[in-house]
Amino acid sequence: MTTTTSTPKSVTPARADTLDIDRIRADFPILLRKVYGKPLVYLDSAATTQKPEQVIRTISNHYRNTHANVHRGIYALSSEATALYEGTRKKVADFIGTADTGEIIFTRNTSESINLVAHAWGTMNLKAGDEILLTEMEHHSNLVPWFLLAKRTGAVVRHIPIDDNGLLDLDRGFKLLSEKTKIVAVTHTSNVLGTINPIDEIIQRAHKQGAIVLIDAAQGVPHAPVDVSKMNADFVAFSAHKMLGPSGVGVLYGRRKLLEGMDPFMGGGDMISNVTLTDASWSELPWKFEAGTPNIADVIGFGAAIDYLNDLGMDRVRQHELDLTTYAMERLQELGDIDIYGPMDPSKRAGVIAFNERSVHSHDLATILDREGIAIRAGHHCAQPLMTILGQSATARVSFYIHNDRRDVDALMAGLTCAGRFFGKR
């Protein structure tokens, strides 16, 4: 799975960007700042994305002009806040291809969305001996909740392996499917390898076996068109903060039939229909799963983020990242002492590149780059089992989004050259 290169490849000629990057960059206030006197080059969007002025302004405007609790008041401010909040739910539904807003549950993040399914669906439907099928490339958020569920129910966790190219070995993986398999939980796109998995095929095979499927789309929905109806997904989880929105907002899409058959994840205000001193009944979807006062302002801000991405067009976002990733991988291989992890075919990966410079720890590399104003991630990326398979304790990782272009890749290369000199390698 480690690709080692010593001969530089030819760099593809420059082509017109599918996005107007200069115009986009002007929308991001944080990109005006300097770090250690150097212009900020932000290459950690897989961890969290920066926010455009349109999102910041929307959140500020809500607090200034329309802030009130939602769903519970008959006065003007509450009605306005409710309309904005529920308006975002409709935007999310449209963005991922469902006509039913009741299938869109707001949570705090992707992790909570997955935990919701593990608790509310898993506890009711799994028993000792049942099997949960995951993959070896999962983020901890799509591992730990299932481990906890397995401990509660006596279920068994299995994993689809990965091959030497950083792709799922589906020939071996599908052999793990059996009548015992109750749920398959798989990442849409690896946050380390960048691998874009064949989700449609996985869903089809799992359904044929009678299992349901949860897709961790934290790295998928923000970067390419995703249509949950066409893929026939059962559950899809993702986060606002990875797609220009604020932190503290996650989404769980679930098929209505499944959601209606599940007990609430949490109890409290706003998720009830009626309460007595001894019992309670639940509100209808989606509010059945949204206990208490929600993160109103940030959900409204998320709506502005979706508007921004819709204006750009997700097909263009995907094409821009593909072009940029192709260029970055070609440039990285010029160094000759770089190990790149994951598929070497850029069309099979998202805008994420994990790599290591030989004899230089990724944390040291990230520290040197930081002094050049370049923000990358170094560590295990919340994927320790995958790191073990790679034979690494950590990797460096660069990840791109809509405001990045070839100038950022060139800055990264200059920073890596500087780091190489520092460590006496170049």
Give the angle 301-65-289 at the CA atoms, nearest 5°. 45
Q: Please, which residues have CB within 8 angstroms of residue 264's CB and are 6 or more apart in sequence? A: 120, 271, 282, 288, 289, 291
328, two tokens: 């970055």
CA-to-CA distance for 188 and 287, rounded, in angstroms?
26
**Interhelix angle 406-422/362-371, nearest 10 degrees:** 110
Cβ count within 10 A of residue 382: 18
382 is catalytic: yes
| Dist CA 48 CA 394 (whole Å) | 19
Cβ 79 vs Cβ 314: under 8 Å: no
H or E segment and range at residue 238: strand 235-239
173 neighbors 161 (Cβ within 8 angstroms): yes
CA dist 143 and 135 (Å) reads 9
Q: Is the peptide bond before 286 cis (omega within 30 degrees of 0)?
A: yes
DSSP 346: G
The token duo for 99 is: 């006509």
CB-based contacts of 69, cutoff 8 Å, min separation 6 = 78, 81, 293, 296
For residue 52, give the 3-state DSSP assignment: coil
Q: How many residues does the chain have?
A: 426
- Catalytic hit among 105, 184, 299, 382: 382
The alpha helices in 105-212, defined as continuous H runs, are: 110-116, 123-125, 144-153, 170-173, 199-208
DSSP annotation of 251 reads E
Q: What is the DSSP letter of 191?
A: T
Mention every residue, 6+ apart, whose C-beta is less than 8 A from residue 175.
Answer: none
How far is Cα 264 from Cα 26, in angstroms, rounded to an integer?
A: 43
Catalytic residue set: 382
